[in-house]
Amino acid sequence: MSRLAAANVPSPQMNAELLLMFTLECDRAHLYAHSERKLTEDELARYEVALAERVRGVPAQYITGHQEFWGLDFIVTPAVLIPRPETEHLIETVLQEAMAGGGARPARALRIVDVGTGSGCIALALAKEVPQAEIHATDISPAALEIARANAARLQLDDRVQFHESNLLQGIEPNWFDFVVSNPPYVGESEADHVHLEVRKFEPRQAVFAGPTGLEVIERLIPQAHCVLKPGGWLVMEISGTIAEGARRLLAGWNGVRITNDLQGIARVISARKNPN
């Protein structure tokens, strides 16, 4: 732990325990129950490698290859963005609109597409929560789609989600979906200095930065979403406070535009409905 603290790694004790659990292939309860256990030479060597990578700035999730999201365990590699708790607000917003009638499940089967699926965390979380929905997921990166398909298979949801290699929604049938959901790149190049160094150095740049203002990808996605949505369908996107008002302006002409804040009071999700007529 002192080595991580000296390198200014955040939450050094938590990181040290996480990497030790990874090395020993055990959970926290087992770690605490056997705190007196000494590492073998091989285990110590592997732990040292993991610590060295973390000191270098590599996110712990890329070292262990896993990250939890929506109560599910996802494989992650540097080919995909690391799922974050804030993105769960996106799932909550979709479920809120899908269950708007007050029932335990939607009144009819829904078609949902997750744009820029990355690890598949959004699509697969929705597959878990809305078992009768037809779910599609797109990504421009073949490497990301490989990870998403692996996660679908591990979670036994591979028969529930259809994956497509596509630039946003290109090639998707018009007037087909009830929901377009996305955590698109939304960080502007001008904000790069405010992004954690670990994110800038190790996470896929095309999944983080959208262009000079942060609105460039969303500006392309909105008209494509309008095309593929059924009348009355919903577009739900993750955003940041920096681009919230810009995203709202781009949704002029949509119905029921609403911004949802995260637990820190920062604008996190924007949702809007295609005119039902």
- CATH of residue 84: 3.40.50.150
**Poorest-pLDDT segment among 11-25, 90-104, 203-217:** 90-104
In a domain, 8, yes or no: yes
Residue 75 pLDDT: 98
Residues 174 and 133 in one domain: yes
Residues 82 and 205 in one domain: yes
Residues 21 and 101 in one domain: no
**Domain enclosing residue 19, as ranges:** 2-56
Number of domains observed in the structure of the chain: 2
Residues 122 and 161 in one domain: yes
Instruction: Give 108's pLDDT tier (boundaries 50, 70, 90).
Output: low
Average pLDDT value over all residues in the chain: 94
Residues 19 and 121 in one domain: no
Residue 151 has pLDDT above 90, yes or no: yes
Q: Rg of the chain over CA atoms, in angstroms?
A: 20
Residue 204 pLDDT: 96
pLDDT above 90 covers a percentage of the chain that reads 84
In a domain, 63, yes or no: no
pLDDT mean over 70-79:
98
Residue 2 pLDDT: 83
Residue 107 has pLDDT above 80, yes or no: no
In a domain, 143, yes or no: yes
Residues 52 and 167 in one domain: no
Residues 105 and 212 in one domain: yes
Residues 47 and 145 in one domain: no
Residues 117 and 188 in one domain: yes
In a domain, 119, yes or no: yes
Instruction: Give 266's pLDDT tier (boundaries 50, 70, 90).
Output: very high
Residues 154 and 219 in one domain: yes
Residue 104 pLDDT: 55
Model-level pTM greater than 0.85?
Answer: yes
In a domain, 62, yes or no: no
Residues 171 and 246 in one domain: yes
Q: 106: which 2 tokens?
A: 């939607």
